[in-house]
Amino acid sequence: MSVIFHRIAPLDDLSEGRSLVLSVGDLPVFLCLTEGEPRAVVNRCTHMGSALTGGRVRRGSVICPDHGAIFNLTTGACAGGVGYPPLRVLQTRVVDGWVEVAN
């Protein structure tokens, strides 16, 4: 089965530490630039289903604004030993100046 990518945002709309919340079909996507690379995860904390919207992006991770859980944006893993399930990480690529996301 081949992976289908969806054009989601111009790369120029991203900057370190700033996030965008967009949709790919019905899927809410939290998109940011970290360490120079676009990263995308499903915009839902795995603790209580809260949106990550407004969560601080720092050192390759996002901090849930509701509960403070820290998730690695590359692996989705929860840091700090809290033990929440990992975030669903979406594959990204840049084509012709646009970030594309596979769902």
pLDDT digit string, tens, across residues 47-87: 888 999 999 999 999 999 998 899 999 999 998 667 899 99
Q: Tell how far CA 25 is from the center of its chain.
A: 16
pLDDT at res. 103: 82
* 55: number of Cβ within 10 Å: 23
- Percent of the chain clearing pLDDT 70 (strictly above): 96
Q: How far apart are CA 19 and CA 2, in angstroms?
A: 28
Q: Into how many domains does the chain fold?
A: 1
Q: State the CATH number of the domain containing residue 48.
A: 2.102.10.10
Domain hosting residue 60, numbered range: 5-102
**What pLDDT is stored for residue 13 in this prediction?**
95
The whole-model pTM stands at 0.93
